[in-house]
Structure 1
Amino acid sequence: MPQTSRHFLFLQGPHGPWFRTLGEGVAASGAKVGRVAFNAGDAAFWPAETLIPFNAPQEDWPATFRALLSERGVTDIVLYGDTRPVHAQAVAIAREVGVTVHVFEEGYLRPHWVTYERGGSNGHSRLMDMSIPEMREALHASGMEMPQAPPRWGDMKQHMFWGAAYHWKVWRGTGYDHFRPHRTLTVAQEFRLYLRRLALMPVHHIERRLATRRIMRGGFPFHLVLLQLEHDASFRMHSPFSTMTDFLEVVTEGFATGAPRHHHLVFKAHPLEDGRVPVAEEVARLARMHGITDRVHFVRGGKLAHLLNDARSAVTVNSTAAQQVLWRGLPLAALGRAVYDKPDFVTPQPLADFFARPQRPDGRAYRVYRHYLLETSQIPGGFYSRRGRHALLRQVVDMMLSDYDPYDALPAGEAAPRQPLRND
């Protein structure tokens, strides 16, 4: 299809200017672009001349979306995450009428990468149905060596800044009376939580360093629990747990039942944990209930490397941080649906057995999997920093304009060249 005949309709994106930056890049190819704004936060990060305000009840969205596709000749839709209601409805309709769906997500190999797929992400990704032998065959045909991640951290501070800015715009903006957030909290509550987290960063930094020091100097074997955000789409839509407490109970009971008495359990909070769920209090309560208080620790966010370097194993629902676990060759238990949940390297053991005798992953199989992701859906860069956005833009526009899905491009010899970020 000639590029000038394509019309890309953007829906909701990551907090901040990434979708505007991407829209400008796509428009530079000669394609038409537009964006639907569901609230004042969406509108703030897009040029007014191609903005399409949607200020109607939620139940009117499917009919409105169908009309937009038809009237504007939309060929492609672009969105961030595919599970929020307006996106799930749009994806279903787009598939029905043959419109291409471009899905962005946080990197499966975070923090140095962003995920770009077509059709769906996380539990809806094509990766869910791919085997390691299939990936190995595609890589063999390409003859490429594995790209390396840049030796730098992600853009967490910028992420928090743009999150606060977005929710401020939504809260104080006008013209979108029917907007309802896809999460349970109000926009005002979300904004106050962002401000609170920003204000408490120095305190949490001290708490985190003290807790990590106690663990590192403790001299005991420990197992690491990688916590997620209860309101995150992966946890809500692709796990068997309705609340974080449900997950904490299963893990604590499994550890108390199966782990050797001299082993400890370390719960590591997500870096963006904002206190809407009393995770630390629940961990302490469950430890008391099972009589293991002196063997349970809680760490607020921060980097994984120091803890993973000495951990015996790790447990998660479906956190992308588990990729770092597997890269180190540590045993991993994943209790939800995840793109990396392959029998080659994720244990099928019940938790009590896992804590007693954790099985190590097949390192060779995981390296095939990781290499396959880096040659297909993982793009170096980030949504929230200027440098990260520019790095993404250099590759992703060509990938979106390609006739090939990222997973089909590799065996077809059409995969985009991969250049990791420089550390300068």
Structure 2
Amino acid sequence: MWDWRGQSAAAFRGNVDAFPHWFEAYLARHHVTDILLFGDNRPLHRHAIHVAKQHEVAVFVVEEGLLRPNFVSLERGGTNYASPLPRDLDRLRQIVAHHDPDEPVTAIASEVKRRVVEAVRYYIAQTLTKPLFLNYRSHRQNAPLREAIAWVRRRINRRAEDAASAAAVADVRAGRFFLFPMQLDGDHQIDAHSDFPDMASALDCAFASFSAFAPEEVMLLVKMHPFDPDIDGWRACVAKKAARFGIGPRVRFIERFDLGILLESAAGVVTINSTVGPLALEKGCPVFCLGRAVYDIPGITAQCSLGDFWMAPPVVHAANFDLMCRAMRATALVNGGFHDDEALRLLVDSAVRRLAISDRLGLHVDG
């Protein structure tokens, strides 16, 4: 209601159980041929996809791009691990042979300040319109006020966090280390595309393996997600878990640091399915996926056991990674961004072109 100003919009105010019937009637009334969703795992979106498929309505899903910051995901049927992108090199070669993109890529600026402003606006709008949407239940885990208090606390402690993070990085970079980039609790990448209920469980898995198999001289650096409000205190949690697994002196935690520098120095990255994975591969840094990731493809990421990965991470084949990126650009990504006016204009133009040729690409979830 804030961004769209209600123009040509329909507001659903019922409960979740009533939504499929309401949406089905809406599709029929307006003769809808295609729907466009931001993300495919929110409860109402899952219902919308199910109804759309029943009525042969095309489903397109938009998400933050896997190859950031210059691209946004736009795919038919689903994104992330639900993407129709093939998971073997031979089929990726076929895509590139027929649809290799040749258009230039416009660099997209990362506007963190604008993201913060937009988040604040969203929470204000959510609060002000609450009386109009009494059945609304957010997909987010934390209440807005609780997150706001946590962010204020982090802002006050910024210098202390920076100093502690710099000291931790200096410790690990003196020798050989692996990087574990955290993801956000409640992220659908974890809920829908991994067997972990939360980040704490993923840390337990990584720490147990590191304790059992990693060489004694190797360190592990855990990096908090840049948009985590740190409500429950990850630094203390990581230290406690590391001590429980007997690896306290070999584990370091950081709230923030230049990711590019870390990826150039790390022996490897262990992740659930973070977008840090492709960034690492681009730098030639080996990647092991604990969850299900669209880029977890034989010949690109490590396919060995996690124990073997700590001991001898495989070499990254740059040509294979480049092949995957070209296939993604041709079928799954569009140039543009969400958090800058010029980037948004570019995104709209790129999306319109992609939607216009989507049928000719022949990439559907059902094959």
Q: Same fold (TM over 0.5)?
A: yes
Q: 2:11 aligns with which of 53, 58, 64?
A: 53
Q: 1:85 aligns with which of 21, 43, 50?
A: 43
Aligned amino acid, residue 171 of structure 1: T
- Cα deviation code 1:209-237 (max 9, x no counterpart): 44434444xx2100111211111111111
1:275-290 aligned at under 5 Å gives the runs: 275-290=230-245
Give the conservation status (yes or no) of the 8 Å contact 1:146–1:374: no
Matched, 1:155 2:111: yes
> Which region of structure 1 is more displaced relative to structure 2, 273-282 or 69-78?
273-282
SS of 1:44's partner is coil
Provide the rounded CA distance (Å) in 1 between the counterparts of 2:346 and 2:11.
30
Q: Residue 406 and residue 140 in structure 1: after superposition, are their counterparts in 2 closer, same or farther (change >3 A)?
A: closer
Matches within 5 A, 1:294-305: 294-305=249-260
Provide the secondary structure at the position in 1 that maps to 2:141: coil
1:132 to 83, 89, 102: 89
- Find the aligned partners of 2:311 and 2:218 in 1 and give their Cα distance: 10
State yes or no: 1:122 paired with 2:122: no
Distance 1:198 1:405 in 2: 49
Q: Aligned letter for 1:103?
A: V
Alignment gaps of 5+ in structure 2 = none
Conserved? CA contact 2:84–2:363, under 8 Å: no
> Contact conserved, 1:76 with 1:100, CA < 8 A, in 2?
yes
Pick aligned residue for 1:266 from 221, 246, 255:
221
Consecutive unaligned residues of structure 1, counting only runs of 5 or more, are 1-42, 410-424
Give RMSD over aligned pairs: 2.4
Which of 320, 324, 327 is 2:282 aligned to?
327
In the TM superposition, 1:23-38 aligns within 5 A as none
Answer yes or no: is 1:177 the counterpart of 2:170.
no
Partner of 1:164: 120
Contact 1:223–1:312 (CA<8 Å) still a contact in 2? yes
Q: Residue 336 of structure 2 contacts residue 350 of structure 2 at CA under 8 Å; is this kept in 1?
A: no
1:36-63 CA deviation, whole Å, 9 max, x = no partner? xxxxxxx111032312111112211111
Q: Match of 2:293?
A: 338
TM-score by length of 1: 0.79
CA distance in 1, matches of 2:151, 2:56: 39
Please report the TM-score for the alignment, with normalisation by the length of structure 2: 0.91
Q: Secondary structure at the match of 2:32?
A: coil
Misfit runs of 4+, over 4 Å: 142-149, 190-207, 405-409
Q: 2:52 aligns with which of 88, 91, 94?
A: 94
Task: Supply the distance in 1 between the matched residues of 2:100 and 2:13 (Cα, whole angstroms).
Answer: 51
SS of residue paired to 1:50: coil
Query: Whole-Å Cα distance in 2 between the matches of residues 231 and 360 of structure 1?
Result: 32
Partner Cα distance (2:106, 2:211) in 1: 37
Structure 1: distance between partners of 2:222 and 2:198? 16
Contact 1:312 / 1:331 at 8 angstroms: preserved in 2? yes
- What percent identity do the matched residue pairs reach? 28
- Equivalents in 2 of 1:342, 1:313: separation in Å? 16
Are the equivalent residues in 2 in contact too, given 1:109–1:323 (CA < 8 A)?
A: yes
SS of residue matched to 2:265 = coil
Query: Which of 367, 379, 383 is 2:322 aligned to?
Result: 367
Shift of 1:261: 1.0
Say which is worse superposed, 104-113 or 47-56, in terms of deviation.
47-56
User: In the alignment, residue 165 of structure 1 is paired with which amino acid?
Assistant: R
- Looking at both structures, which has the greater relative contact order when contacts are Cα pairs under 8 Å and sequence separation is at least 6? 2
Cα distance in 1, alignment partners of residues 260 and 141 from structure 2: 33
Within-5 A mapping of 1:384-395: 384-395=339-350
Query: Which residue does 2:169 correspond to in 1?
Result: 212
1:15 aligned partner: none
| Aligned 8 A contact 1:346 1:361 in 2 | yes
- The residue type paired with residue 56 of structure 1 is G
CA contact (8 A) 1:110 1:321 kept: no
State the AA in 1 paired with 2:287.
L
Q: Residues of 1 paired with 2:145 and 2:361: CA distance?
A: 38
Contact 2:207 2:242 survives alignment (8 Å): yes
Instruction: Give the Å deviation of 1:378.
Output: 1.7
Letter in 1 for 2:14: A
* Rounded Cα–Cα distance in structure 2 between residues aligned with 1:256 and 1:77: 48
- 8 Å CA contact 1:117, 1:406 repeated in 2: no
The 1:374–1:58 alpha-carbon spacing in structure 2 relative to 1, beyond 3 Å, is same
The total of aligned residue pairs comes to 363
Would you say the 8 A contact 1:230–1:277 is kept in 2?
no
Q: 1:79 aligns to what SS in structure 2?
A: strand
Shift of the alpha carbon at 1:255?
1.1
Given that residues 258 and 356 in structure 1 are in contact (C-alpha distance below 8 angstroms), is that contact kept between their aligned partners in structure 2? yes
Deviation at 1:315, TM superposition (A): 0.2
How far does the alpha carbon of each residue in 1:349-403 deviate from its partner, in whole angstroms, 9 at most, with x for none? 2222210121223332211111111222222221112122122122112222445
Cα 1:280–1:120, aligned 2, differ >3 Å: closer, same or farther?
same
Per the alignment, in what secondary structure is the counterpart of residue 323 of structure 1? helix
Deviation string, structure 1 residues 136-157 (Cα, Å, up to 9, x no partner): 122223465696673x652222
Query: Contact between 1:147 and 1:371, CA under 8 Å: does it hold in 2?
Result: no
